[in-house]
Amino acid sequence: MCGRFIQKAERKIIGEEFYIALFINDIITSYNVAPGQNAGIIINRGDNVYVQHRWGLVPSWAKDQKIGNRMINARAETVAQKPSFKSAFKSRRCLVPVDGFYEWKRTDGYKLPYYIHQRSERPFSLAGLWETWKSPEGSDLRTFTIITTDASSALRKLHDRMPVVIPPEKRPMWLDSAADTQDLETLLVPYDSAELQFHQVSRMVNSPNNNSPQCIIPVESDSKDMFPR
């Protein structure tokens, strides 16, 4: 699964990397984005647009927004068929720009966090879906989910799943509302790129209350630091 990620790139870098024509909301800066929090995503309305949505997809037909707590990820293997995601996969896809994400490795009864990022330190894009849910009071809640797939050979050392990474040359296709879903499914594969690297970080990232550059500082491999599980 993908349960935490980082968005720290400046507006100028995000704009250049993802060809953003319009920023509807301010840039999110967070070293520890957690489910239920707002994050920046990119959708296409003829041009690429940066907006903020809440992490945890709430289908338009849901009776209660609490369903979003269970919808932070969508499995690549079933995303095109599952009722919760089928409609969004067909017509409401987004990119989630990240500078990196966290994964936890189970070692000797401990779950040790690792930070995965690009060697270049440039932001990259995860495959996402978005939805709009209307509350009984009539207000709109906009949410998103991140699609996951089998882990690449390198990341399998940490976990058996990873978020789907959409490479730069495939971003226009992913955001194209007219794209064929069968073609889109070919993108939902492990990203086994030498550009991704990882290192162990402090267990301070286990708490969403900890949100600072210290979250991504390397610690000694397989060490048990002072922070709780």
Q: Report how far Cα 166 is from the mean position of its chain's Cα atoms.
A: 11
Is 129 in contact with 147 (CB distance < 8 Å)?
yes
Is 197 in contact with 157 (CB distance < 8 Å)?
no
Is 115 in contact with 98 (CB distance < 8 Å)?
no
Q: Take residue 211 and report the two structure tokens written for it.
A: 């949100």
- Which residue among the candidates 10, 17, 77, 103 is catalytic per the annotation? 103
- Which residue among the candidates 2, 94, 131, 215 is catalytic per the annotation? 2
* Annotation marks residue 103 as catalytic: yes
**Which amino acid type is present at position 227?**
F
Output 207-212 pairs: Cβ under 8 A, ≥24 positions apart: 208/4, 208/32, 208/34, 208/37, 210/32, 211/30, 211/31, 211/32, 212/31
Alpha-carbon distance of 46 to 188, in angstroms, equals: 24
Alpha-carbon distance of 202 to 30, in angstroms, equals: 16
* Annotation marks residue 94 as catalytic: no
Query: For the chain, what's the residue count?
Result: 229
Alpha-carbon distance of 96 to 158, in angstroms, equals: 22
Is 75 in contact with 148 (CB distance < 8 Å)?
yes
Q: What are the catalytic residues?
A: 2, 103
